[in-house]
Each structure stands twice: as C-alpha cells, then as structure tokens.
Amino acid sequence: MAHIVIIGAGLAGLPTAYELRHLLPRQHKITLLSNTPMFTFLPSLPWVGLGLTHLEKVQLEVGELVTKRGIEWLPEAVIQLNPYTQEVHTNAQVLEYDYIVIATGAELALDVISGLGPDNGYTQSVCNPHHALMARDTWQNFLQNPGPLVVGAVPGASCFGPAYEFALLADFILRQRGLRDQVPITFVTPEPYAGHLGIGGMANSSQLVTKLMADRGVEVLENTAITRITSQDIILADGHQLPFRYSMLLPPFRGPRFVREAEGLGDAKGLIPVLPTYQHPTFPSVYSAGVVTQLAPPEVTPIPIGVPKTGQMVEAMGMAVARNIALELGAISAQPVSPTLEAICFADFGDTGLLFLADPVLPDPETGKRRRAITLGGRWVSWMKTAFEQYFLAKMRWGSAVPWFERLGLRAMGLSLLETIPPTEPHPIPKDVLSH
C-alpha cells in the first residue's frame, strides 16, 4: 500500500485528489491537507472584491466532499517538509508518505515593497478570499467618497488578468452609479506593454486591451515599476507620484515557507522545479502542480515579471501528476504524460469581455510562436465566465476532476490537457564494444 499526500485543496490540489482516487485501487491511501477548510474558485475573486457576487457562492466545504469519496481530510497547516526522510509535519502530527504532491498555490510576497497590501499596507488585493473581502469593504467606503483609483501590479507579479478585470469592472460600476467623472483611473503594470500578460502577448491581445483602456478613459503606464507606497501616493521608479484614494495592486507570488526552508526543494522564490512529468528532478517522491510550480518566462523583460498559471494549466498539471503517480504504482499501463499547458481564459469587464485561447500558453522557445493564439471580445464572454464558474464548482461537488464530456469538448476544439512524453531513445552501443 502506498500513501500519497496532497498539500493544498485549491484549483490544483482538489482535482488531483479526485483523479488519483479515480485511478488508484482503494488499498492506496490518499490524504488531502489544507490550511483552509474551503475550496474557493479564485477566478471569481475580482467580482467578490467589487461586491458583484458573494464569497460563499464561489466556495465549497472540502471535508464533506472528499471524505465520502475515500480521501482522508486533514484541515491542518504544513510547517515542515523533509524530502529526504519523506515526512511532512503539520501543527498536530507527522505524516510519512510514499509520494507527495505540492499544490499549495501561492504565498503573497507583500513584503517586497513598502506599503503594499491590505494587511500591513495601503493597497488592496483579490488574490485570496480574505483579501477579497477586505477589498470589498474598502470599495464600498470608496463609493461613498470617490477619488483617484490606481489598479495594476508590482514588479515580479505574474498573474495580470485580475488587474485588467478589476480596472475595467470598476470603470463599469462607476459609470452605472454616475461616479466615473469623479474617479480618474490609472493602470500601472511592469509588463513591457499592455496585454503582454507575462507570456509575450498573443494574437491581438495588446491592441484589444489598449483600445479598451483608451475607450474607457483609463490611463495606462506600461513598463513601469512601483517602488514604494504611502497612505496617499504610489511612488514610481522614476520618482513620479500617483495620488490614490483606492488602489488594487497584484503582488509577486512565491512558494510557501515550508518549501523555501527545505534544502534543495525549491528555487530562491520557493517555486518547485519539475521534469516533464512534473516530478522533482532531485526527489522522485515529490510532484508539483499549480502556481507553486516553476515555469521559465518566455523572454527577459526590462522589469522582472513571472509566468501566469491559469486554471486550465493548473488542472492539466494535476491530471498529469495523478496519471504519472498511478503509472509509478502500476495501477495503469501507459506512457508518462506531461500537461500541454494549453489554456482558455475568460476576462469579464462588465458590459464586455475578452476570451484568450493560447495553444500552448508558452510559445515555442525556438520559433517564439504558438500553434494557435486567439483573442475575441464581446458581452458573451462575461456570460461564459459565469457559466464556467458554475460548471467548475459543480464538478468539484460531483468529485470528478475532468468528466468525459469535458475531455470530448476540448478535443472538439483541438485542445487536450495531456500529451504523451516520447520514450527516451537508448544510446547505441559502439561496434567495437559489440565485437568484444
């Protein structure tokens, strides 16, 4: 019997647990660990932060979902991981494992810039449920006393979609309330250009995003670094100061403390290096899925930024990890697989939206191109995002990571979550060796 421990019950961890339970015989034990009892559909948090939906509508109680499906549930925080002895320490106990999947999501590096973040600073965030609720309460106060609004991201950030959504949704709400003329909106981003998105842009994303911002009267500061934040101003690297009454800025992400403190497990940011199987190159018992996974950026940018890990990418990582562990345990017969990192993303802007399709998300390192890159806009994108939110929550209730009809739908669009890793070619034996 093998014991597989999964750390994290979010967009990567919960589907991975479901897929492992589907693939593995019941004699193999699966334990799901999380420092929060709730699953949250994170792409909906900009809506929560702006008061457009309630947090409880995008959350599920994890314990009651997984225990009835033969997955052990431990709502405990991990404080230490020893990949050499294959032990994970929580606040309450020590667990031994045969395989471990680190799917924690990100820790927010709010300490990299003075004044950043709602906990010990002056800006808001929609990167976790707690911060989204703080952003919502502050937003309601802001509507009673409007003024300059600054939205964007700081150097090192990697997920820019929520910033674009927040800025354009805020514009939409302010226009509905007749307050837009009282609120100058500035968008600040370390991206080389608007619509770069941390992946070198795709299709006509830059043109569409730039036009949307211009049409809505949003001033865009591209390739701009924020260095410090006070209670009233955001200070840029060139010394320019942006006054604000409300600001939502996305921080950099890093891996959790227990990864950063485990020798040889992660990089300097606590992100975990992986092989094509999403197995750690040094510790074969360790797999990684989601935001905590190390992905190399497609290009070096003037201001450092990271690579986003979107929901579909994260889900594909988890499916690959589950299948490769099942293969290691002899539960299935197949070739090892790798996530394709193809993605469809929906960005809601209120009365319109953008759909991004990247196949794959990261362009080919040699050609700099993708097989396909599509950006489409329209009001229908907002409806599609709402429909996808409800579908994803439903399948988490069902206990199914990727149902057969979802796989069929992806295939119909020419997309897939996984691809087979070609077998390694054996090195030919020199003739002079054979002659002996």
Residue ranges per domain, the chain? 1-339
pLDDT confidence tier of residue 434, bands split at 50, 70 and 90? very low
Q: Determine the pLDDT at residue 427.
A: 44
Digit-coded pLDDT (tens) for 193-210: 999 999 988 888 899 999
pTM for the full predicted model:
0.94
pLDDT at residue 71, rounded to an integer: 98
Residue-averaged pLDDT of the chain: 94
Q: What is the pLDDT of residue 435?
A: 37
- Sign of the Cα torsion 52, 53, 58, 61 reads positive
The CATH number of the structural domain formed by 1-339 is 3.50.50.100
Residue 266 pLDDT > 50, yes or no?
yes
| pLDDT value of position 192 | 97
> For 215-232, how does the pLDDT look when each residue is reduced to its tens digit (9 = 90+)?
999 999 999 999 999 999
| Distance of alpha carbon 71 from alpha carbon 31, whole angstroms | 6
Report CA 433 to chain centroid distance, whole Å: 51
Catalytic residue among 248, 345, 362, 373: 345
Q: Residue 345 catalytic?
A: yes
Given 159, 242, 265, 303, the catalytic residue: 159
User: Which of 47-61, 355-369, 394-408 is predicted with the least confidence, judged by mean pLDDT?
Assistant: 355-369
pLDDT tens per residue across span 307-334: 999 999 999 999 999 999 999 999 999 9
pLDDT in tens, 228-249: 999 999 999 999 999 999 999 9
Cis peptide preceding 360, ω within 30 of 0: yes
Residues 64-99 as b/e (b if ≥16 CB within 10 A, e otherwise) read: ebbeeeebebbebbbeebebeebebbbeeeebebbb
Amino acid present at 389: E
Q: Is 159 a catalytic residue?
A: yes
pLDDT score at 428 = 46
72-93 confidence digits (pLDDT tens): 999 999 999 999 999 999 999 9
pLDDT at 367: 84
Q: What is the rounded distance in angstroms from the CA atom of residue 245 to the CA atom of residue 374?
A: 36
Share of the chain above pLDDT 90, in %: 89
- Weakest-pLDDT range from 25-29, 423-427, 428-432: 428-432
User: Which of 39-53, 362-376, 394-408 bottoms out in mean pLDDT, i.e. has the lowest?
Assistant: 362-376
> Can you give the pLDDT at residue 364?
85
Q: State residue 365's pLDDT score.
A: 81
Question: Does residue 253 register a pLDDT over 80?
Answer: yes
Residues 6+ apart with CB under 8 A from 291: 12, 104, 105, 106, 253, 309, 314
Q: How far is it, in rounded angstroms, from Cα 263 to Cα 241?
A: 41
Looking from the CA of 184 toward its CB, the CA atoms found within 13 Å total 7
Amino acid sitting at position 130? H
Would you state the pLDDT for residue 366?
82
CB-count exposure of residue 132 (10 Å: 0-12, 13-18, 19+): buried
pLDDT value at residue 432: 39
**CA atoms within 13 A of residue 159's CA, in its CB half-sphere:** 26
d(Cα 321, Cα 266) in Å, to the nearest integer? 18
Residue 431 reports pLDDT greater than 60:
no
Task: Report angle CA 266, 267, 273 to the nearest 5 degrees.
Answer: 65
What gap in Å lies between CA 108 and CA 98, rounded to an integer?
29
Q: What's the confidence (pLDDT) of residue 436?
A: 34
2 vs 27: CA distance, rounded Å: 8
The residue type at 357: L
